Amino acid sequence: MYFRDKEHNPPHIHAITKDFDAPFLISTGEIMEGYFPKKSAALVKKFVLNYKCELEEMWETEKYIKLPPLV
């Protein structure tokens, strides 16, 4: 999961696997468009909600930090 250069609103991250690429809203962890497997989408949502404050700050400042994986 990562931000791409010169992103557009609304604030979101991209989750990418070998076969799928989809943007997820930082505000809710919901998929914005496209398709992502249900189990993987639930994991992305959990990650986004767990790190919501950090992701919002990164979006605003464009200062990206590596976040630890979920445990």
pLDDT at 62: 83
CA 54 – CA 49 distance, rounded (Å): 10
**Which of the 8 DSSP states describes residue 68?**
P
What is the chain's pLDDT, residue by residue, as a tens digit (71 residues)?
Answer: 556 666 788 999 989 999 999 999 999 999 999 999 999 999 999 999 999 999 999 998 888 899 999 98
Among 44, 60, 53, 54, smallest CA distance to 11 is for: 60
pLDDT at 28: 98
User: What pTM value is reported for the model?
Assistant: 0.87
pLDDT at 57: 94
pLDDT at 8: 83
